[in-house]
Amino acid sequence: MIDISDGLASDLLHICEASGVGAVLIAESIPIDPNVLEVMRFDESFQAALNGGEDFELLFTVPESKVSALADLPVTQIGTITSDRGNLEVIRDGTRETLQPSGFQHFS
């Protein structure tokens, strides 16, 4: 589990690197505030959701066998973990693309 204050994509990469796994996100599953969509096109708001910071949300993984235990909790499944070490992808409009995290970097 990690907070996504440095950006969803960057913090997902931290989880994946620490665990030796990859991930696939489903673009349409990532929550975007309707008020944001009123002032930004989907592409812009989606990039902000992936790489913007200060969201103050938590990102975590659970084994597939435990997902049903979360059914009554206010959480959103936004993708899956894969065995493809360090590879992040996003499926958007049925197309799979490599995800290039560009959130906040503490020590660059």
Q: What is the pLDDT of residues 47-105, one digit of tens each?
A: 888 988 777 889 999 999 999 999 999 999 999 999 999 899 999 999 999 998 775 55
Q: Domain total for the chain?
A: 1
Domain membership of residue 52 (yes or no) is yes
Predicted confidence at residue 6, as pLDDT, reads: 81
- Please compute the mean of the pLDDT values over residues 25-41 and round it to a whole number: 91
Q: Is 34 exposed, middle or buried (0-12, 13-18, 19+ CB in 10 A)?
A: exposed
Domain membership of residue 17 (yes or no) is yes
Domain that holds residue 57: 2-98
8: domain CATH number? 3.90.650.10
Dist CA 53 CA 68 (whole Å): 29
How much is the pTM? 0.85
